Amino acid sequence: MRARYQVAYGDVCIDTLRDGHGVPLGLLPSSLRDVEDFDDVAERFAANGFLVLRPQPRGCWAALVH
């Protein structure tokens, strides 16, 4: 199950994708890549019992600093 949500703290908002349930696992793309590049591997980890968290790099989608 995939969900997209924003994590806000002060003037920072980080767009984050969440897949699965279970042990947390973070996938961090380089600054010029989109987290959706990890869709295939995230689905595989999620299917094997992981909660995959994928924050977007700053400036992508809704990941902004105000």
Give the tens place of pLDDT for each residue, 13-66: 888 999 999 999 999 988 778 888 999 999 999 999 999 999 987 665 554 544
Phi, psi of 32 (to 5 degrees): -105, 15
Q: Global pTM?
A: 0.80
Mean pLDDT of 4-16: 87
Joined together, the tokens standing for residue 22 give 């279970």
- Confidence at residue 32, expressed as pLDDT on a 0 to 100 scale: 76
- Confidence at residue 66, expressed as pLDDT on a 0 to 100 scale: 47
- Confidence at residue 62, expressed as pLDDT on a 0 to 100 scale: 53
- Strands (DSSP E) contained in 10-57 are 12-19, 23-26, 50-55
- Confidence at residue 40, expressed as pLDDT on a 0 to 100 scale: 96
